A and B are shown apart, each in its own frame.
Chain A
């Protein structure tokens, strides 16, 4: 509970300071508490995980939106509505993907080697994404 409150306070501080790079820290802390609690309780597969994932994604998006709003760039009409739709779509997408993964994990009885396999595969995907991004980075000309 204390760590959760500290994470919220940290998020407020990060938003107040406009520190874009520090945004993930409070969310990692919250997710860490969640995972640690599950591990300590040795609970069965948490069916609320997709909702938690969707909430986390939406919260992260809203945090970045809050920081983007600090820019004094005059936006287009309907910008806010488009962004709301984007965040909502992201939340729904996260919910669906997480639910599918939860079902998959449940199907293979998320214990033992299966967790490692899923984690390793996801880590590999993340790594590939980062490599793809890094390859495309750098100056290009018209």
Chain B
């Protein structure tokens, strides 16, 4: 522990010294009498103090929590010596909140005592946090000397992003070979009725449509659409993070990615992830609960790493972008590299949709005519980018301050529905 003298020790020493000097200068013993208590207390306070031996350990009740959840934490303090006043300072990282009363508190410990203090941390934001940092300050009886110690035992707390309410996700145009919840376009064994066709040897008797067969004077069988799964690749734009107030585009991006991943995995789809920014991160498409945890844990590492190098879709491994996969891009549409990559993917005939995390409400126009003009030009440029993407057949749904993620997905679905009709 690091021993430090407090301002009191200097104050008492100064008072004693000046009063004694005054006594000598003025030749008055009364000033020496005034100085005596200060000198005695100072001598006692600095001499009869023992270095405390204190230890602390912080143990969260869970290593994983949801964003916004409270996590019970137990702080265990032990001391080999008696400590009259032990001040505890919890050094929580940004994103983890603790009640103001619990952040700094004082207690006393007897020699050999071990005490457990229950606390509650609140995960205000998603992320991976080290919550094991505690600063201790022990004070002697006279408050002349303090002993300070910083204890850092790594205790990782992972806060998973909060899921947004979404009723329906965007369906891929093409399905894959595994069973799932999506009705395939091609006929096969399934539940959904597709069409009628003439009976051919090998068809099952139960698939014969007897009424239609009676009308046509020949055996006719029902064709059905099989239920298949789809491949979905979630593309996260981590080039920029626009922050306004308590919201940021990257936070919303990660929440949207976690929400979409969870919803698609519930439908037995294979979901992969590509974090496209200063650092390229990817996760191969997979299914099941394990994949969900892998996806979320990968998302937790998402951060903005500044880079000036030009990147394109060639950097993404081919096995990540599976053929016929639906690519759901989550982006504020600010960095031209990401927009160019989306166009590149579309040119390679990938099924691309964009959920735009509209940052215009985070960056309002500054006062002044020129600033307002610049803001309007910026908004116009964004409209141009949107129109360019839609012209290339990429549906764009806007998730802004006024709309929800669900509405943005519905916008995408609607665009794709009309775009199909236009193609026919």
State in angstroms the CA–CA spacing of A64 and B12 once bound together: 11
Known contacts A75-B106, A98-B33, A140-B1: A64-B26 contact under CB 8 Å: no
Q: Which residues of B contact A136 (CB under 8 A)?
A: 3, 46, 49, 145
Instruction: Give A55-76 as 1s and 0s: 1 = Cβ < 8 Å from B's Cβ atoms.
Output: 0110010001000100111111
Q: Which residues of B contact A3 (CB under 8 A)?
A: none
Q: Which residues of B contact A120 (CB under 8 A)?
A: 24
Residue A38, interface by CB 8 Å: yes
Instruction: Give B127-171 as 1s and 0s: 1 = Cβ < 8 Å from A's Cβ atoms.
Output: 000000000000001011101010000000000000000000000
Known contacts A38-B26, A75-B106, A76-B107: A50-B33 contact under CB 8 Å: yes
Closest A residue to B34 by CB, please name it: A53
State in angstroms the CA–CA spacing of A68 and B101 once bound together: 16
Q: Which residues of A contact B104 (CB under 8 A)?
A: 71-74
Q: Which residues of A contact B8 (CB under 8 A)?
A: 20, 64
Residue A2, interface by CB 8 Å: no
Known contacts A116-B24, A133-B46: A74-B105 contact under CB 8 Å: yes
Known contacts A32-B22, A53-B37, A129-B42: A64-B11 contact under CB 8 Å: yes
Majority DSSP secondary structure for residues of B touching A: helix
Residue B355, interface by CB 8 Å: no
Residue A13, interface by CB 8 Å: no
State in angstroms the CA–CA spacing of A129 and B4 once bound together: 15
Per the 8 Å Cβ criterion, residues 239-290 of B in contact with A are: none
State in angstroms the CA–CA spacing of A24 and B38 once bound together: 11
Q: Which residues of B contact A60 (CB under 8 A)?
A: 11-12, 15, 38
Known contacts A24-B15, A64-B143, A98-B33: A129-B105 contact under CB 8 Å: no
Residue B30, interface by CB 8 Å: yes
Residue B66, interface by CB 8 Å: no
CB contact between B3 and one of A49, A54, A139 (< 8 Å): that residue: A139
B51 and A140 contacting across the interface, CB-CB below 8 Å: yes
> What class of interface size applies to chain A in its complex with B?
35 or more
Residue A8, interface by CB 8 Å: no
Q: Which residues of B contact A57 (CB under 8 A)?
A: 37-38, 41
CB contact between A128 and one of B29, B38, B43, B141 (< 8 Å): that residue: B43
Closest B residue to A135 by CB, please name it: B46
Known contacts A38-B30, A129-B43, A132-B43: A123-B17 contact under CB 8 Å: yes
B36 and A133 contacting across the interface, CB-CB below 8 Å: no
A21 and B105 contacting across the interface, CB-CB below 8 Å: no
B34 and A56 contacting across the interface, CB-CB below 8 Å: yes
Instruction: Give A106-127 as 1s and 0s: 1 = Cβ < 8 Å from B's Cβ atoms.
Output: 0000100011101110110110
Closest B residue to A49 by CB, please name it: B30
Interface centre among A50, A86, A105, A115 (most CB of B within 10 A): A115
Interface centre among A20, A79, A133, A139 (most CB of B within 10 A): A133
Smallest CB–CB gap between B42 and chain A, Å? 5
Residue A39, interface by CB 8 Å: yes
Known contacts A123-B20, A142-B53: A118-B29 contact under CB 8 Å: yes
Smallest CB–CB gap between A43 and chain B, Å? 9
Known contacts A31-B19, A133-B5: A46-B30 contact under CB 8 Å: yes
Closest B residue to A75 by CB, please name it: B106
Smallest CB–CB gap between A29 and chain B, Å? 10
Q: Which residues of A contact B41 (CB under 8 A)?
A: 57, 90, 93
Residue A6, interface by CB 8 Å: no
Closest B residue to A72 by CB, please name it: B104
Q: Which residues of B contact A27 (CB under 8 A)?
A: 15
Q: Which residues of B contact A88 (CB under 8 A)?
A: none
B26 and A36 contacting across the interface, CB-CB below 8 Å: yes
Q: Which residues of A contact B5 (CB under 8 A)?
A: 133, 137
Given contacts A34-B34, A114-B29, 9 further A-B contacts (CB under 8 A): A28-B19, A101-B33, A115-B24, A115-B32, A119-B24, A133-B46, A139-B1, A142-B1, A142-B149
19 contacts between A and B (CB under 8 A): A20-B11, A28-B18, A34-B30, A53-B36, A57-B41, A73-B105, A93-B37, A94-B37, A97-B36, A118-B23, A120-B24, A122-B35, A126-B42, A128-B43, A129-B46, A132-B47, A136-B46, A140-B1, A140-B147
8 pairs of A and B residues whose beta carbons are closest in the complex = A20-B7, A94-B37, A133-B46, A129-B43, A74-B105, A49-B30, A39-B26, A105-B29
